[in-house]
Amino acid sequence: MNKAILSPSMMCVSEWRGAEKTLAALEMGGVERLHMDVMDGEFVPNLMLGTESIRHMREISEIPLDIHLMIRNPEDKLGWFDLRPGEYVSVHVESTSHFQRALARIRDFGALPVAALNPATPLCMIEDVLGDVDAVLLMTVNPGFAGQKLVPQTLSKITRLRKMLDDEGLEATRIEVDGNVSFENAAKMRAAGADMFVCGTSSIFSRQGGLMENIRHFRSCIGEEALG
C-alpha cells in the first residue's frame, strides 16, 4: 500500500482571511500537496482558481501542487499554467476528445499526469491509458462545489479500480479521491485502496477542531502516523 498523500483543497481557504497563516499550519502539519481546483464555468457550473492563483500559490508556498483542471479541452490550455516537474495535473476524461494527447502533454512538461473521472463515468473509459498516468482521480461528489454529500457507489469504484491497477502490475499508481472526504469516509476510502486524499470542508477545514488537530486526526483515521 502506498504511503498516503494529503492534498488540502485550497478553494476552501478564503484568500481574504489569511491564506498565508493557513499555509504555515499546513506546512507544519506536513501536508504533501496543495490541491488547486481550476473551474471554467463550462465543464463545471462554477468558476474557481486560475493561472494567477496558481502562480501566487507557488510563490507563497514550497509545497508542491496538485492541479485539478475542470476545464474544456485542457490539452489546448496546459501552456497557460507554467507546469513544474513533479506537480500532479489532473484532466477529466469527459472534458476532451483528445484525452491521451492531454496526458502526454502533461508528461512533456515533466509533470505527473492524472486521469480524472466524474462519479457517473465508468472505469472502462480509462482502461487504455492506465500505463500513461501516475494517478487516477475519482470524483466522489459531482464536481463544482465544496460541501456536498458523497455519491455512495464511488466507494466500490475505488475497490474496483485498485484491483484493475494491481492486476496490470501498476501498484505504484495512486488513487486520489476528491469530494466529501470526511474523517469517516476517508477511513473507508483508504480501506478500499485510495492513497491520495483531497481534504476540504468535511475534514481538515471543518470547524470541528483547529487545523493542526484536524490534520492529525485525519492521519489517524487513515491509519497513518501524524507528522506534525
Q: Which residues bind ligand DX5 (CB under 6 A)?
A: 9, 11-12, 35, 37, 68, 141, 143, 146-148, 178-181, 198, 200-202
Q: Residue 118 binds which one of Zn ion, ligand DX5, none, with CB within 5 to 8 A depending on kind?
A: none
CB of 92 to ligand DX5, least distance (A): 10
Nearer to Zn ion, 73 or 142 (CB): 142
Instruction: Indicate which residue of 37, 40, 66, 195 is catalytic.
Output: 37
Of 96 and 140, CB closest to ligand DX5: 140
Q: Is 197 left (phi over 0), alpha (psi -120 to 50) or beta?
A: beta
Q: How far is the CB of 38 from ligand DX5 (least distance, A)?
A: 9
Alpha-carbon span 112 to 107, nearest angstrom: 6
The grid coordinates of residue 157 equal 469504484
- Of positions 178, 180, 181, 197, contacts Zn ion by CB under 5 A: 178
Q: Pick the catalytic residue: 40, 66, 178, 195?
A: 178
**One-letter amino acid for residue 151 of the chain:** V
- Does 76 participate in catalysis according to the annotation? no
Query: Catalytic annotation on 166?
Result: no
Say if residues 214 and 159 touch (Cβ distance below 8 Å): no
**Amino acid occupying residue 84:** R
Q: Which residues contact 90 (CB under 8 A, 6 or more apart)?
A: 66, 67, 68, 69, 114, 115, 116, 135, 137, 176
Among Zn ion, ligand DX5, none, the one that 40 touches (CB under a kind-dependent 5 to 8 A) is none
Compare residues 104 and 121 and give the one whose CB is closer to ligand DX5.
121
With respect to ligand DX5, which residue has the nearer C-beta, 15 or 168? 15
Number of residues that bind Zn ion (CB under 5 A): 3
Residue 199's closest CA among 19, 14, 24, 32? 32
Q: Count of H helices and E strands in the chain?
A: 6, 9
Query: What letter does residue 64 receive in the DSSP assignment?
Result: P
Establish if 37 lies at the interface with Zn ion (CB under 5 A): yes
Please list the active-site residues: 37, 178
